[in-house]
Amino acid sequence: MALRLSFHYVWMAVAILTSHMIPTSAEVATYIIHMDLSAMPRAFSGHRSWYTSVVSAAATAPSDSISATSNLIYVYDNAIHGFSARLSPLQLQQLKRSHGYLSCYRDMPVTVDTTHTPEFLHLSSGSGLWPASNYGEDVIIGMVDSGIWPESESFSDDSMTDVPARWKGVCEQGTAFSSSTCNRKLIGARSFNKGLLAANPNLTIAVNSPRDTDGHGTHTSSTAVGNYVPGASFFGYAPGTAQGMAPRARLAMYKAIWDEGAVTSDIIAAIDQAISDGVDVISLSLGLGFFPLYKDPIAMASFAAMEKGIFVATSAGNYGPGLRVLHNGTPWVTTIGAATVDRDFASIVDLGDGSSINGQSMYPGRPPSTRHHALPLVFMGSCGNRTLLKNARHKMVVCDAKDLEFATSQVESTKVDAALFISAKVDLYVKFSFPGAIISPQDGKTILEYINKSSDPRAMLRFRETILGTKPAPMAADYTSRGPSASCPTVLKPDILAPGSFILAAWAQNSSVGFDGSHKLYSPFNIISGTSMACPHAAGIAAMIKGARPDWSPAAIRSALMTTANNLDNTMMPIRDMGYCDRPAATPLAIGSGHIEPNRALDPGLVYDASTDDYVRLLCAMKYTSKQIKTITKTYSFDCSHASLDLNYPSFIAFFNPNKTAASDEVVQEFRRTVTNVGDAVVTYNAKVVAMKGFAIRIVPEKLVFYEKYEKKSFALILVGQMGKKDDEVLHGSLSWVDDKGKYVVRSPIVATTINSTRL
């Protein structure tokens, strides 16, 4: 089990924490303690004084470490009921005997591993979600991230109205960050590092304020809510007007990720504060490893947010393309996978024979071919021979890059003038620090033939080309984490895809965006990839739906996003999976319900709603103990008499044991769902099913007739059929409720699989 919280972006591996953060068992460590608030003795005036007393009482335990002093770090008010504290093992033992103690776990060290997307998502000022929500005006998004670069033009408050009166947040003063930095766009900025400092008493935080010294938080924030910035680009790539999904929504930054490291006690504190400040949406482009829900602090803090009606968007993680590697597969959040966009960054290779070939590149520097002469072109096999490369310095080398990372590092370190890499893979290596481009295997053949034929083969490279409308798009990105959810397999995850690959957004001006040779480059905008980038797209869109439909629950907003998501790409074929090029269509374990369609989500027709009660019934059915459930639900009173794994969710997943499905054996699984009419008052829906191999899908009833708005109707979906005997088989189909006027299609994916869910 990996004890890691990771940023879901792929470009930069920022591993910072060192082993001194992990105390040996005999040492003092930070623990997050969950308490049962309903057990608080009357004598205490509030939970703060109670927790303080509990910690002081535990501190009287004989300490087994000289330096052990019990130390309350955070008291949490909303996100969880409990606190974090430094405790020795004996003190912890003592504390566990306290009246009202529920559960605890160690604080976890954290390994910190757009111009075009609004158009790609068909957002327009004429109709749809932008005008309906007034561009997200007065909706507040809280980002828990690496801080903010407030001077970025994306956070200017031009054309913004006054800060909503209900807002309770503040703009904290700190290193290189003045409290007057906030404005009508950036309405709050706070930072959290008590947990990090408690674990590392000697640590000096270089920039102790909400200022972003990394760039990630600035990028995700501007993706969600960035104001309009004309003339944005990354060294000429992706030129245009940069803007977030909800350009009029407000932003509050909760910095809990530091260059010096990060721990979950700080993340909980950040979410805790965001809840009390009054955010409407929380965007979490980070996640933990694989923990049960009652040990996953992000899941628990999100539960508290959900109870308050706050929509929580989380990233699925970047551990694809294998199955069951997904993070944040939490039933009450919306889990976002990453998709490609219909945009390529190209380098054009002009060959000496007058022909041209498109390569892929985001080289930001000045190419040697601007010297107006073509370089000699030489083929160097796999580019594994450094002697040969060093002798080819003033040439353009061609590498058969079966191992792209190896080939690029060879070329980089031998200081070759320019290089072309023949590779089927593009995803992550195009941000070259030297004039380089990736060439498809087909085009590679053309180049090799030209080299063969010509007595003096030469080529020139042109950079900074942006090609729009590429097909097919979107695709599930290679890296996006696939389900099923390890923490709750019976809820199909991820929920949806949003743009994640090569996203242009604002950046921290003092953090480098790349290299030209060994020379660091800086830019107010950067292009990076990851589910970290997909998450704030969904958060911004959810904020606008919340603005336009203020009475919808987080589950209703999620349902609207899911049932209107597009499962087809721009060639009208099922969305493909970059991780499995041999397969005709991506499965819902990669794409969930499909790619986010903001305008359609505004008016989904029907929603699958879910309340706190529904989630609790699910937790009961997961066979959690009542203490474990209480750790998540806090004082919310519950009874488990209606336990059910069958959450009212807009997607379906059934697990079957391959050994029990001999050819003659029929397997059956029944799901029950209730939909709420949020469209036309009088409307009839008919079930339309896309079946899967070997299964019959029955819907009872097949027709739903509504007479008024907000009316609810229930139905059953019954899967009957035969599952193959293969392990890890994934079959998928769908159910669509289609209204009789052809206005609404309310689509849900259905998965039947032999993945062993207890092995997740």
Ligand X SMILES: *[C@@H]1O[C@H](CO)[C@@H](O)[C@H](O)[C@H]1NC(C)=O
Binding site for ligand X (CB under 6 A): 176, 201-202, 211, 385, 387-388, 448-449, 452, 510, 657-659, 727, 756, 758-759
691 CB-contact burial (10 Å; exposed 0-12 / middle 13-18 / buried 19+) = middle
- Distances, alpha carbon 734 to alpha carbons 89, 387, 605, 653, 720, in Å: 52, 57, 17, 11, 14
Question: Helix, strand or coil for residue 145?
Answer: strand
565 CB-contact burial (10 Å; exposed 0-12 / middle 13-18 / buried 19+) = buried
Tokens 């803090």 appear where?
301
Give the nearest distance from C-beta 111 to ligand X in angstroms. Answer: 19
Give the nearest distance from C-beta 655 to ligand X in angstroms. Answer: 9
Write out the two tokens for 6: 């990771």
Give the nearest distance from C-beta 378 to ligand X in angstroms. Answer: 12
Give the nearest distance from C-beta 396 to ligand X in angstroms. Answer: 16
Question: Helix, strand or coil for residue 119?
Answer: helix
Q: Would you say 191 or 734 has its CB closer to ligand X?
A: 191
Best CA proximity match to 273, nearest among 214, 150, 189? 189
Rounded to whole angstroms, the Cα distance separating 457 from 438 reads 19
Write out the two tokens for 156: 């200017």
Q: Would you say 2 or 176 has its CB closer to ligand X?
A: 176
Rounded to whole angstroms, the Cα distance separating 82 from 524 reads 40
Any idea what the Cα angle at residue 656 is, between residues 650 and 657, rounded to 5°?
A: 160
Best CA proximity match to 694, nearest among 653, 670, 727, 725? 725
Rounded to whole angstroms, the Cα distance separating 314 from 288 reads 11
Just list the catalytic residues.
Answer: 145, 216, 532
The values of phi and psi at residue 108, to 5°, are: -105, 125
What pairing do the DSSP bridges indicate for beta strands 250-255 and 186-191?
parallel
The answer to whether the beta carbons of residues 489 and 653 sit under 8 Å apart is yes
Best CA proximity match to 448, nearest among 346, 345, 357, 348? 357
The answer to whether the beta carbons of residues 295 and 221 sit under 8 Å apart is no
Give the nearest distance from C-beta 600 to ligand X in angstroms. Answer: 39
Give the nearest distance from C-beta 424 to ligand X in angstroms. Answer: 17
Q: Tell me the one-letter amino acid at 145.
A: D
Q: Would you say 48 or 393 has its CB closer to ligand X?
A: 393
Rounded to whole angstroms, the Cα distance separating 720 from 717 reads 10
- Sheet containing 683-690, strands listed edge to edge, beginning at the edge strand earlier in sequence: 652-655, 745-753, 730-739, 683-690, 703-706
